Amino acid sequence: MAATKNSDMIAAPIVATVGLVLLYGVLDPPHRGPAATFWNRGRAALLPGLDRLARRLRIGYAAYELQSREYAGRIDAPVDEVDDLLAANGFERMPLSAWKTLPDGRSEAGSWARREGPLADRQLHVMLFRTDDGSTDVYAHEEYNAFHPRYATKHYYGVDYAPRAGCRQCKSVFGDRLTEPARPAADGGTPDTEHEFSP
């Protein structure tokens, strides 16, 4: 495991730097906005298989199941409208993110982050999931910025990962649009504590 962690300490900042240069230096801003749905399709196609390989080789992860403590609430609107709402509130697409699923089998329909700038220390990460009735379930956590080379390894290992803080911030962003029905997915009784991350 020590060898894997040492490799991650080298790989994570390199991946963060490449992602930062690509997303903020090469591509135009629309590649970070609502129209850039190709990020999610590409992540859906690549990350689950990459995750299976990484776990088999014991070299990390590329996908994981969210816990109910990350559930911020539901918005009575389809995902594409919530995408627009997020963009209007300073969020950008989050292509540098593990693929997320829920215990009920749903896969994410969108991954967004808001940070003070490309090299901010921390970010609010929001993940969207479609519901059967056409609404959107919103999950969130606050965490280290995945694009900052200095913090990329901390991001990958979930250091100071904060679901409660993320959910509180979502409530301040969405206000009354965010409702809280009964939590849609149980996670086996995991206590709702901060800074506990297990992909």
Number of neighbouring beta carbons within 10 Å of residue 29: 10
Q: Give the model's pLDDT for residue 60.
A: 87
Residue 13: inside a domain: yes
- In 57-162, which ranges are continuous DSSP H helix? 79-88, 152-157
Helices (H) and strands (E) in the chain, counts: 5, 8
Q: Give the model's pLDDT for residue 7.
A: 53
pLDDT in tens, 110-165: 999 999 999 999 999 999 999 999 999 999 999 999 999 999 999 999 999 999 99
Q: How far apart are CA 87 and CA 78, in angstroms?
A: 15
Q: How many domains does the chain have?
A: 1
Q: Give the model's pLDDT for residue 199.
A: 63
Residue 135: inside a domain: yes
Mean of pLDDT values over 6-18:
74
pLDDT higher than threshold 60 for residue 4: no
Q: Could you tell me the residue range of the domain that residue 71 belongs to?
A: 2-179
Q: Which amino acid is at 36?
A: A
Find, among 162, 93, 148, 88, the residue nearest to 117 by Cα. 148
58 φ, ψ (degrees, to nearest 5): 55, 45
Q: Give the model's pLDDT for residue 9.
A: 66
Residue 185: inside a domain: no
More confident residue, 194 or 53: 53
pLDDT higher than threshold 80 for residue 196: no
pLDDT in tens, 74-110: 999 999 999 999 999 999 999 999 999 999 999 999 9
pLDDT in tens, 16-58: 888 888 888 888 888 899 999 999 999 999 999 999 999 999 8
Residue 187: inside a domain: no
From its phi and psi, is residue 192 left (phi > 0), alpha (psi between -120 and 50) or beta?
Answer: beta
Residue 191: inside a domain: no
Residue 128: inside a domain: yes
Q: Which two tokens stand for residue 105?
A: 């089998």
Taking the CA atoms of residue 131, residue 38, residue 171 and residue 89 in that order, the dihedral angle to the nearest 10 degrees is: -140
Q: Give the model's pLDDT for residue 182.
A: 55
Q: Give the model's pLDDT for residue 121.
A: 96
Residue 195: inside a domain: no
pLDDT band at 14 (very low <50, low <70, confident <90, very high): confident
Q: Which two tokens stand for residue 153?
A: 């390894």
% helix, strand, coil for the chain, step of 5: 40, 20, 40
Residue 53: inside a domain: yes
Q: How far apart are CA 84 and CA 144, in angstroms?
A: 24
